Structure 1
Amino acid sequence: MNKYYKTLLMVLFSTTLYSQTNNLTGSPYSLFGLGVQSNSNIGKNSALGRGGIALGSENVINNYNPASFSTISEKSFLLDIGFLGELNNISNSGKDELRLSANFSNLALAFSLSDHSGIGLSLVPFTDVGYSLIGIESNVEGSQDDFVSNIVGSGGLNDLRLNYGYQLYDNFRVGLRTSYLFGSIKETERILIGTSFLSIDEENYYRGFRFGLGLQYDINQKNSLGFTIDLPASLNGSQDRFVDKSLDFIGTNVEDEQGLDISSFKLPIEIGFGIRSQHIPGLTINLDYKRNLWGFTNQRDDIGRYVDQSIVSFGAQYRARERGLKYWQNIEFRAGFNYDSGYLNVNNQIIDNYSFSSGIGLPINVRGSSMINLSFTTGQRGAVEGILVEEKFNLININLSLKDIWFKRIKFN
């Protein structure tokens, strides 16, 4: 890697890490647990229903299965930079609210180690937090006075992931991945009673490792199978807590604690299956099913309990030529669907969500090895029932996916 690549990656890594400390979502459901699952994706997966367990990584990094990294062509280098914009429409008992958030979303690189193996490193959000509860009126116990609370949450966890894939046979690949999950979730509460107020700032920090395995098997040239498993993990937690109050415009520090021990957060075992099919020339179809066994973690949120989760994703991509001589022959058209049964049960109501996606891959060069991948996703989470709210979300993912060849010798006649 030359010095220009090194400088570029250092700048992008710092920018991505800093930007992920800011909100990437406005979902009210990010109040629960560690937040909502991130909508950030690498390459073209966003437009394919957020699936791709059986897909390869020939031209675009596929983070859904580490075994795919063995398909990176020899002496190739892949780089992916992502941007995410999200517009949420929150509905509750006839009231609507719009929330907009946008930021850099991911940085990933991968390269071949040999003609049978490849490796990749990525930094993507794991969960996103970005909620606000404004103007909550409550009664002071034992009196006729009321107080107003404003609660704002932000942050989330990041996934620094190392993937390694190896091709054991011509049609069978295996892969290992190691993730270091880290980040913080900050909640700020302001309580106003007349001319007095109470300020509570809490920031929870989580960190821990998680390991996974992936397999891919080519039945023939047109059909492939994929399998992934992510092992259970426990994220260690700590908390910084600051409490201040003001009476008659005189401020006083009530509490100042740092490094407090809090309960670890348990992640479940996750099992995924995928199918890739290409029976029509130029048309590739992928279908994934994942099962996350949250019930075995025996965890509860403040107002709900965790239940087993199922995720189904479907995607289709059309490209006129694998290596077209004309620009339009290398354009990729994509569409997808995703259904998530949810993992949190609140008052016997499970918060599920579904989404539809479409996208396009625009080649940067004539041969189409490097692309600008654009996708639009629209979906819904929750419902206007009981204490729940209905959230309609619209997402725009922009990924710059670059491919280069290392150590290529230039020949002159």
Structure 2
Amino acid sequence: MNKYFIVLLVLLHPFALFSQTNNLTGSPYSLFGLGVQSNSNIGKNSGIGNGGIALETNNQINNYNPASFSAIPDKTFLLDIGFLGELSKISNTDNDELRLVANFSNLAFAFSVNNRSGLGVSIVPFTDVGYSLIGIKSNVEGSQDQFTSNILGSGGLSDLRLNYGYQLYDNFSVGLRTSFLFGSINETENIRIGDAFLNIDEENYYNGFRFGLGFQYKINPKYSLGFTIDLPTSLNSSQDRLVDKSLDFINTEVEDQKGLNIPDFKLPLEIGFGLASKPFKGITLSADYKTNLWSFTDQRDDIGKFVNQSIISIGAQYRARERGLKYWQNIEFRAGINYDSGYLEVNNEVIDNYSFTAGLGLPINRKGTSTLNISFATGQKGAVEGILIQEKFNLINVNLSLKDIWFKKLKFN
């Protein structure tokens, strides 16, 4: 069935139901393209508005700029394990629906190579897919008969990333990153016409490499700048398709094909700028601007077109003491905002979103270097307008960020 027709029915039909999934998202907007961009983050970045291009990697991993890994203290090992939970409310002109999803979100580690360079490896979600369109009723063409469709989508792509940062000068660092993007997106459609059933199962596979680089420059002890660029790439794509029908309780295979050619998916040139400052003792501020040049990819979707995307994030963190004697003095308090102009235009409306974030970094060792990071974000995507729907979301990111020292010699008096 034509995807555009399906979406029109889903967004306008008062009895369409968006149910729960066990993926990292339940957004109906994950129906488009490769899914929605992941809300998962490493370390403290979720609490400061999902930014940090100009921030260093010292006690916690910062995946936003490969140059940041040059700041890992010598003989230091960092580990981060993440969990993500999402509660969303989906609204159209007729209905409101609640959905809950939760899952592990990331695994990352980093270590110093020497006193001027560091290396990091991470695997995080790149895109997430998780939608359920239940009970869509439509008329059979040229007839008064009706059929009912249930459409389920799941999967997404993962980003296996290698970051390397090197300090060229005392105040200037460069970094390189290589990502291997891979994963699959499954869509299953079950159609019922009277006592007959038709099942269509499509599994799309994607994989490819992407390369990027970054810079960080310390203007002075209070101010630093960051820059990143991710090069455009094309992901290799293929499809497995299985179709069977059931009539009078007899199943018949209609089609079973593997490795079908489908158009490769093009990812855009992405450019980011960041500023970080420490205007007062214990306070760190950050601001990022990122643009994704989708219009140059000529990438298309059945329901809409891809447009250039801008993302702005602003964050702040407060810690009373660098190494306080009291527990509360080592707690990090965070807050931030994020605005994403969106990259998909549907019916002449661009699907944008914004969020407000808050978080805590709770020390789990005496020095306050290993931290339990908890962040909360609330925001909105889309609007109840035309065929669009509004998604209000609440996110919880929990990251266990550990720091240890390698090859430290014990000294005895």
With structure 2 as the length reference, what TM-score do the two structures score? 0.94
1:133 maps to amino acid: L
Q: Provide the residue aligned with 1:93 in structure 2.
A: 93
1:34, CA displacement in angstroms?
0.2
Q: Residue 74 of structure 1 contacts residue 112 of structure 1 at CA under 8 Å; is this kept in 2?
A: yes
Q: Residue 154 of structure 1 contacts residue 185 of structure 1 at CA under 8 Å; is this kept in 2?
A: yes
Q: Residue 22 of structure 2 contacts residue 102 of structure 2 at CA under 8 Å; is this kept in 1?
A: no
Distance in 1 separating the partners of 2:327 and 2:367 = 7
Aligned runs of 1:147-296 on 2, under 5 Å? 147-296=147-296
CA displacement 1:212-263 (0-9 Å, x = unmatched)? 0000000000000000000001000010100010112211000001111111
Q: Residue 22 of structure 2 contacts residue 101 of structure 2 at CA under 8 Å; is this kept in 1?
A: no
Distance in 2 separating the partners of 1:94 and 1:149 = 19
Q: Provide the residue aligned with 2:337 in structure 1.
A: 337
Q: Provide the residue aligned with 1:104 in structure 2.
A: 104
Q: Residue 89 of structure 1 contacts residue 96 of structure 1 at CA under 8 Å; is this kept in 2?
A: yes
Q: Residue 225 of structure 1 contacts residue 275 of structure 1 at CA under 8 Å; is this kept in 2?
A: yes
Equivalent position SS for 2:323: coil
Distance in 2 separating the partners of 1:288 and 1:405 = 31
Distance in 1 separating the partners of 2:383 and 2:22 = 27
1:87, CA displacement in angstroms?
0.6
Q: Provide the residue aligned with 1:383 in structure 2.
A: 383
Distance in 2 separating the partners of 1:249 and 1:142 = 26
Q: Provide the residue aligned with 1:55 in structure 2.
A: 55
Distance in 2 separating the partners of 1:171 and 1:191 = 62
Aligned runs of 1:299-310 on 2, under 5 Å? 299-310=299-310
Distance in 2 separating the partners of 1:283 and 1:404 = 25
CA displacement 1:114-143 (0-9 Å, x = unmatched)? 000000000000000001111111111111
How many residues were matched structurally?
A: 393
CA displacement 1:4-30 (0-9 Å, x = unmatched)? xxxxxxxxxxxxxxxxx9510000000
Equivalent position SS for 2:279: strand
1:192, CA displacement in angstroms?
0.5
CA displacement 1:52-85 (0-9 Å, x = unmatched)? 0000011000000000000000000000000000
Distance in 2 separating the partners of 1:288 and 1:191 = 46
Q: Which runs of 5+ in 1 are unaligned?
A: 1-20
Distance in 2 separating the partners of 1:326 and 1:141 = 72
Equivalent position SS for 1:29: helix
1:322, CA displacement in angstroms?
1.4
Equivalent position SS for 2:189: strand
1:321, CA displacement in angstroms?
1.0
Aligned runs of 1:23-42 on 2, under 5 Å? 23-42=23-42
Equivalent position SS for 1:263: coil
2:283 maps to amino acid: L
Distance in 1 separating the partners of 2:285 and 2:412 = 42
1:33 maps to amino acid: G
User: Are residue 404 (structure 1) and residue 404 (structure 2) matched?
Assistant: yes
1:327, CA displacement in angstroms?
1.7
Moved over 3 A (4+): none
Q: Residue 326 of structure 1 contacts residue 366 of structure 1 at CA under 8 Å; is this kept in 2?
A: no
Equivalent position SS for 2:239: strand
Distance in 1 separating the partners of 2:325 and 2:411 = 22
Q: Residue 325 of structure 1 contacts residue 367 of structure 1 at CA under 8 Å; is this kept in 2?
A: no
Distance in 1 separating the partners of 2:324 and 2:44 = 19
1:197 maps to amino acid: F
Q: Residue 241 of structure 1 contacts residue 257 of structure 1 at CA under 8 Å; is this kept in 2?
A: yes
Equivalent position SS for 1:280: coil
Distance in 2 separating the partners of 1:132 and 1:49 = 29
Q: Residue 148 of structure 1 contacts residue 193 of structure 1 at CA under 8 Å; is this kept in 2?
A: yes
Aligned runs of 1:112-131 on 2, under 5 Å? 112-131=112-131
Distance in 2 separating the partners of 1:347 and 1:24 = 27
2:371 maps to amino acid: M
Q: Provide the residue aligned with 1:70 in structure 2.
A: 70
Equivalent position SS for 2:47: helix
Distance in 1 separating the partners of 2:250 and 2:307 = 47
Distance in 2 separating the partners of 1:52 and 1:310 = 16
Q: Residue 339 of structure 1 contacts residue 355 of structure 1 at CA under 8 Å; is this kept in 2?
A: yes
Q: Residue 327 of structure 1 contacts residue 367 of structure 1 at CA under 8 Å; is this kept in 2?
A: no
Larger mean Cα displacement after TM superposition, 326-335 or 198-207:
326-335
Distance in 1 separating the partners of 2:271 and 2:344 = 18
1:378, CA displacement in angstroms?
0.3
CA displacement 1:154-192 (0-9 Å, x = unmatched)? 000000000000000000000000000000000000000
Equivalent position SS for 1:329: helix
CA displacement 1:380-402 (0-9 Å, x = unmatched)? 00001111100000000000000
Distance in 2 separating the partners of 1:35 and 1:125 = 11
Distance in 1 separating the partners of 2:293 and 2:119 = 28
Distance in 2 separating the partners of 1:85 and 1:115 = 37
Equivalent position SS for 2:70: helix
Aligned runs of 1:317-396 on 2, under 5 Å? 317-396=317-396
Distance in 2 separating the partners of 1:306 and 1:106 = 28
Distance in 1 separating the partners of 2:187 and 2:23 = 13
Q: How many percent of aligned residue pairs carry the same amino acid?
A: 77
Distance in 2 separating the partners of 1:299 and 1:400 = 37
